[in-house]
A and B are shown apart, each in its own frame.
Chain A
Amino acid sequence: SQQGEEDPQALSIQEGENATMNCSYKTSINNLQWYRQNSGRGLVHLILIRSNEREKHSGRLRVTLDTSKKSSSLLITASRAADTASYFCATVPGSNDYKLSFGAGTTVTVRA
């Protein structure tokens, strides 16, 4: 079963704009991770945020985590055409260290 749910399902933006997507989950977590998947390719890890962290940055990526609302957001600033991909959140439950549960993903299209 998939714990995370991303919102929106799809997003289309102009190059240079910011893209924001959200992830909600159901049970307590140890950490939450975001992955990117280009069409027909494998998943690439973007960022990991632990349950005791509220915000994390990596380059043009900003991730927030609100454990009280069981939600996370991923912000991509100054988007580029190369950011066109599907983005997945994945949660690691507190009790099981290894089993990532993925959501259905947000498909982001960046128009040149």
Chain B
Amino acid sequence: GAGVSQTPSNKVTEKGKYVELRCDPISGHTALYWYRQSLGQGPEFLIYFQGTGAADDSGLPNDRFFAVRPEGSVSTLKIQRTERGDSAVYLCASSLSSTTGELFFGEGSRLTVL
């Protein structure tokens, strides 16, 4: 597609449930990033992929969070045993390479944990 696509755009779940958020980056972009944005805050880095491998997952808050990018394109962010504090907008971005250029962001997936 023309831009970064994220699904679902909204997800409401109950505490303790498992959630998957999907990101389809711009075709040809090898670098993919996940960020989390809480209300009134800037995005916070979660994880970065270069190709299929997670080059840096230092931003993942705990082991309930996991992300994959098996074929170097689409990525899935997985959250186990969701907690109310996980409620936020999860943003995906891609870039042409891992160099220091601009990131192209999707519209985000808004997660609400009740």
Check if A65 is an interface residue, CB within 8 A of chain B.
no
Contact partners of A88 in chain B: CB under 8 A: 42-43
CB of B42 within 8 A of CB of A103, answer yes
Check if A43 is an interface residue, CB within 8 A of chain B.
yes
Instruction: Name the distance in Å between A22's Cβ and chain B's nearest Cβ.
Output: 15
In the complex with contacts A42-B4, A42-B105, A2-B42 CB distance below 8 A:
yes
In the bound complex, how far is the Cα of B100 from the Cα of A35, in angstroms? 15
CB of B99 within 8 A of CB of A97, answer yes
Number of residues of chain A lying within 8 A (CB) of chain B = 25
Instruction: Name the distance in Å between B92's Cβ and chain A's nearest Cβ.
Output: 9
In the bound complex, how far is the Cα of B93 from the Cα of A102, in angstroms? 14
In the bound complex, how far is the Cα of B101 from the Cα of A49, in angstroms? 10
In the complex with contacts A98-B55, A98-B98, A45-B42 CB distance below 8 A:
no
Check if B40 is an interface residue, CB within 8 A of chain A.
yes
CB of A102 within 8 A of CB of B101, answer no
In the bound complex, how far is the Cα of B105 from the Cα of A88, in angstroms? 13
Contact partners of A35 in chain B: CB under 8 A: 105
CB of B42 within 8 A of CB of A102, answer yes
With A43-B43, A92-B100, A99-B48 already in contact, 15 other A-B pairs whose C-beta atoms are closer than 8 Å: A2-B44, A4-B42, A41-B107, A43-B93, A43-B105, A44-B105, A45-B102, A97-B99, A97-B100, A98-B31, A98-B98, A100-B33, A101-B45, A102-B35, A104-B42
- Residues of A in contact with B (beta carbons under 8 Å apart): 2, 4, 30-31, 33, 35, 41-45, 48, 88, 90, 92, 96-105
Please give me the 9 A-B residue pairs with the lowest Cβ-Cβ distance, nearest first. Answer: A102-B42, A42-B105, A45-B102, A43-B105, A42-B107, A92-B100, A102-B43, A98-B98, A97-B100
27 contacts between A and B (CB under 8 A): A2-B41, A2-B42, A33-B102, A41-B107, A41-B108, A42-B4, A42-B106, A42-B107, A42-B108, A43-B43, A43-B91, A45-B103, A88-B42, A90-B42, A98-B33, A98-B48, A98-B50, A98-B55, A98-B56, A98-B100, A99-B45, A99-B48, A100-B103, A102-B35, A102-B42, A102-B43, A105-B41
